[in-house]
């Protein structure tokens, strides 16, 4: 392993660890409070480093596993970015910027590729293809929702959008960490257990905050 790859790998691992810790802190603190905002900013910064370093790693050694992790990183990074951007569109007069359109279009394209590749893997006999299809479908769904929402104001839906995307980014990050460390023991389950656990939480909190609007 070369020096650039080694440093990129360690930075990637450190940033992923910080992202998970910051995500837990954001979940545990009062929504909208100072500590919650600080944890959210740290989570966003750590996610940016995680995504940037995974691109370096896949360029240096483009293995299939790293390519999949890169596509998942695009997916999770977009959720964090769009969750943050939802806070910037609280008022009906606030509109999507070019960066919003570019990010949403990119994640739809990346997740379509991830889903199609997953189908190919599944048809080739790899059960991991199911994981790729699930992540791809979620990414296309969120990206597609955002592209549609850019045409009209979401009104008070920004809070639920922020919640869903930040939690989704956190779940995807935990999934990647779990996959790297637990796949030899749990197999495909190492990738999907965070989604299985986290999806009901997203549904519950979305319903709660939707009813409070």
Tens digit of pLDDT for each residue in 1-22?
A: 688 899 999 999 999 999 999 9
pLDDT, mean of residues 88-92: 62
How far out from the chain centre does Cα 79 lie?
Answer: 4
- What pTM does this model have? 0.82
- pLDDT tens, 139-148? 899 889 888 8
Q: What is the C-alpha end-to-end distance of the chain, expressed in Å?
A: 53
pLDDT per position as a tens digit, 141-194 = 988 988 888 876 555 577 888 888 999 999 989 998 898 888 888 888 998 899
Domain extent for 137:
3-212
DSSP secondary structure code for residue 33 in this structure: S
pLDDT at res. 138:
87
Closest CA to 26 of 157, 147, 171, 134: 171
Based on the structure, what is the number of domains in the chain? 1
Q: Extract the tokens encoding 153.
A: 């104001």
* pLDDT tier for residue 92 given thresholds of 50, 70 and 90: low
Distance of CA 208 to the CA centre of its chain: 22
């Amino acid at each position: 392993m070369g020096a650039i790859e080694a440093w990129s790998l360690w930075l990637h691992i450190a940033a992923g660890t910080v992202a998970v810790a910051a995500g837990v802190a954001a979940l545990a603190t009062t929504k909208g409070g100072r500590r919650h905002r600080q944890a959210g900013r740290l989570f966003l910064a750590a996610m940016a480093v995680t995504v940037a370093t995974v691109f370096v790693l896949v360029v240096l050694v483009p293995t299939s596993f790293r390519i999949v992790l890169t596509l998942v990183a695009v997916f999770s990074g977009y959720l964090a970015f769009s969750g943050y951007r939802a806070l910037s569109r609280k008022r009906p007069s606030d509109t999507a910027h070019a960066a919003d359109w570019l990010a949403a279009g990119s994640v739809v394209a990346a997740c379509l590729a991830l889903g199609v590749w997953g189908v190919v893997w599944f048809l080739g006999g790899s059960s991991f293809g199911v994981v790729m299809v699930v992540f791809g479908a979620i990414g296309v769904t969120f990206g597609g929702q955002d592209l549609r929402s850019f045409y009209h104001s979401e009104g008070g839906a920004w809070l639920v959008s922020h919640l869903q995307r930040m939690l989704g980014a956190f779940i995807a990050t935990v999934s990647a960490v779990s996959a790297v460390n637990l796949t030899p023991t749990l197999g495909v389950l190492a990738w999907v257990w965070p989604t299985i656990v986290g999806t009901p939480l997203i549904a519950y909190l979305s319903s709660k905050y939707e009813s409070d609007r």
